[in-house]
Amino acid sequence: VAPATVMASGMQEKQYTPCLLSFFIYNPTFGPREGEEEKKILFYHPSEVEKNEKIRNVGLCEAIVQFTRTFCPTKPAKSLHTQKNRQFFFEPEDNFWIVMVVRNPMIEKPSKDGKPPTIEYQEEEILDTVYGAVVRQCYSMYKLFNGTFSRAMEAGGVELLTQKLEKFFYRYLQTLHLQFCDLLDVFAGISFFPLDKMTYLKIQSFVNRVEESLSLIKYTAFLYNDQLIWSGLEQDDMRILYKYLTTSLFPRHSEPELVGRDSPLRPEVAGNLLHYGRFLTGPTNLKDPEAKFRFPKIFVSAEDGYEELHLIVYKAMSAAACFMISASVELTRDFCEQLDSLVGPQLTLLASDICEQFTINRRTSGPEKEPQFKFIYFNHMNLAEKSTIHMRKTASVCLTSVHADLMKILGDINCDFARVDEDEEIIVKAMTDYWVVGKKSDQRELYVILNQKNANLIEVNEEVKRLCATQFNNIFFLD
Q: Are 175 and 247 in contact (CB under 8 A)?
A: yes
Mean pLDDT, to the nearest integer, of 311-319? 91
Q: Are 447 and 375 in contact (CB under 8 A)?
A: yes
| β-bridge pairing 85-93 and 11-16 | unpaired
Query: What single-letter amino acid sits at 412?
Result: D
User: Sorting pLDDT into bands at 50, 70 and 90, what band is 359?
Assistant: confident
Report all structural domains of the chain as residue ranges with CATH numbers, in order of start: 14-181 (3.30.450.70), 197-255+274-365 (3.30.450.30), 373-472 (3.30.450)
What's the confidence (pLDDT) of residue 299?
94
Answer with the residue of higher pLDDT: 310 or 12: 310
At 11, phi and psi to the nearest 5?
-100, 155
The pLDDT tens digits for 250-302 are: 888 765 434 444 444 444 444 445 677 888 888 888 778 888 888 999 999 88
At 409, phi and psi to the nearest 5?
-60, -40
Q: How far apart are CA 386 and CA 191, in angstroms?
A: 6
What's the confidence (pLDDT) of residue 393?
55
Answer with the residue of higher pLDDT: 356 or 7: 356
Greatest alpha-carbon pair distance for the chain in Å reads 79
Q: How many CA atoms lie within 13 A of 381 on its CB side?
A: 5
Q: How far apart are CA 323 and CA 354, in angstroms?
A: 20
What's the confidence (pLDDT) of residue 25?
95
| Of 228-232, 320-324, 426-430, the least confident | 426-430
Q: Name the 3-class secondary structure at 215.
A: coil
The radius of gyration of the chain from alpha carbons, rounded to an integer in Å, stands at 25
75 Cβ partners below 8 Å, 6+ apart? Answer: none
At 164, phi and psi to the nearest 5?
-65, -40
What residue ranges in 11-122 does DSSP mark as E strands? Answer: 11-16, 19-26, 41-45, 79-81, 85-93, 96-103, 106-109, 118-121
Indicate the pTM of the whole model.
Answer: 0.86
The pLDDT tens digits for 143-196 are: 999 999 999 999 999 999 999 999 999 999 988 888 888 888 889 899 998 888
DSSP state of 176: -
User: Sorting pLDDT into bands at 50, 70 and 90, what band is 68?
Assistant: confident
Q: How far apart are CA 115 and CA 258, in angstroms?
A: 56
What's the confidence (pLDDT) of residue 43?
95
What's the confidence (pLDDT) of residue 244?
92
What's the confidence (pLDDT) of residue 100?
95
Q: Are 297 and 311 in contact (CB under 8 A)?
A: yes
What's the confidence (pLDDT) of residue 418?
87
- Closest alpha carbon to 99 in 56, 144, 70, 35: 56
- Closest alpha carbon to 387 in 408, 410, 368: 410
Q: How far apart are CA 207 and CA 405, in angstroms?
A: 44
Mean pLDDT, to the nearest integer, of 60-79? 87
CA distances from 175 to 63, 90, 456 (A): 30, 20, 43
Q: How many CA atoms lie within 13 A of 47 on its CB side?
A: 9
456 Cβ partners below 8 Å, 6+ apart? Answer: none
DSSP state of 420: -
Count of C-beta atoms within a 10 Å radius of residue 100:
24
Q: How far apart are CA 141 and CA 246, in angstroms?
A: 13
Mean pLDDT over each residue of the chain, to the nearest integer: 84
Distance of CA 317 to the CA centre of its chain: 23
Q: How many CA atoms lie within 13 A of 99 on its CB side?
A: 32
Q: If you write DSSP's letter for every residue of 243-272 in order, what string do you get?
A: HHIIIIIHHHT--TTTTT--PPPPHHHHHT
Q: How far apart are CA 307 and CA 194, in angstroms?
A: 31
Q: How far apart are CA 15 and CA 8, in angstroms?
A: 12
Q: How far apart are CA 476 and CA 479, in angstroms?
A: 9
